[in-house]
Amino acid sequence: MYLNLLENLLRSGLKLAAPLWLTATGETFSERSGVINIGLEGMMLVGAFAGMVVGYYSANPWLGLMAGVAAGALLSALFGALAIYAAADQIIVGAGINLLAAGLTGFLFRRIFGVTGAALTVASFTPVRIPWLADMPLLGSVCFEQPALLYLAFAVVPIAAFVLKRTHLGLAIRACGEHSAAADTAGLNVFRMRFGCVLFCGAMCGAAGAYLSLAHANTFVEGLTAGRGFIALALVIFGRWQPWGIFFASLFFGCANALQFQFQALGSGIPYQIFLMLPYVLTLLVLIFARGGVQGPAELGKVYRRE
């Protein structure tokens, strides 16, 4: 019995963590280049909406995924144009992006599908079983009987870690976030580098949103992201701006979120709102104790102006 509970917890936690580490990994690239993007929630939301619409009409979740990635990148391009090239305040622009996405997706959803009482169901990513590996005790069904999109999401982590730590591109990104003037003097185009990182961040947010509507909820409702973009911002700090650290931080939050569903299923007399608070309270506590000694990029949030 307890083994089954643990297996269900880990399986659900992994599925709930995937959109978080996708979004937070994209934000890591943006912040490492010196741009803080609090518009993650909005970019995830447009990705979820675009993925659902294209997946619904095409009956092809892969086309929905591509639409979600494109929508997230498009919205991030607007953010980058304002925050990087127009030198607008990054926090204000990010907040505006969130408001724009919430209003736009709500309006378009009602315009296309009307005000319906029943949620729409879209073609989704079905679980893919990997032979032999799926037969392993406990971790087999947890890790190797998941939707194909989750496997792709996991592949992002080692690739992102390698790019940031082991390539000239990663060095250039980190240089733009630590000392942009020196990077400019060395011949790097700081504006293009930051804009490219913001585009990548938006694409990852769009993929995470598409994951929610095509591999998790299999539908779209207004506010589907439910604050996950802001949680991803916290996970970047929790993971110390490192892709692998962010991955494990996301797993922690995903399992905490799955745990509150299991607590609710026990049918105790405790108000369910207490269980809903659990993952967020745990995340705040960990951030409080893990924050000491963590230093973000030196020029994070600072607008670069070429002298």
Select from 12, 17, 28, 8 the least CA-distant residue to 249. Answer: 17
Q: Given this model, what pLDDT does residue 290 score?
A: 63
Structure tokens at 106: 């709500």
Q: Given this model, what pLDDT does residue 294 score?
A: 67
Q: Where are the domains of the chain?
A: 19-225
Q: pLDDT: is 1 or 197 the higher one?
A: 197
Residues 6+ apart with CB under 8 A from 138: 3, 6, 7, 10
Q: Which amino acid is at 276?
A: L
Q: pLDDT: is 228 or 5 the higher one?
A: 228
How far apart (Å, rounded) are the C-alpha atoms in residues 253 and 209? 17
Q: Given this model, what pLDDT does residue 151 score?
A: 92
Phi and psi (nearest 5°) for 261? -70, -40
Q: Given this model, what pLDDT does residue 2 score?
A: 54
For the cut 90, the answer to whether the pLDDT of residue 125 exceeds it is no
Spell out a b/e string for 253-262, using b for 16 or more CB atoms within 10 Å of the CB, else e.
bbbbbbbbbe
Q: What does the pLDDT look like over 229-257, one tens digit per residue?
A: 999 998 998 899 999 999 999 998 888 88
How far apart (Å, rounded) are the C-alpha atoms in residues 204 and 199? 9
Average pLDDT, the chain: 88
Q: Given this model, what pLDDT does residue 267 score?
A: 63
pLDDT band, residue 50 (cuts 50/70/90): very high
For the cut 80, the answer to whether the pLDDT of residue 26 exceeds it is yes
Q: What does the pLDDT look like over 183-200, one tens digit per residue?
A: 999 999 999 999 999 999
Q: What does the pLDDT look like over 250-302, one tens digit per residue?
A: 998 888 888 777 666 666 666 767 767 777 777 777 777 665 666 789 999 99
Range from 12-26, 155-169, 263-277, 286-300 carrying the lowest mean pLDDT: 263-277
Q: Which amino acid is at 210?
A: A
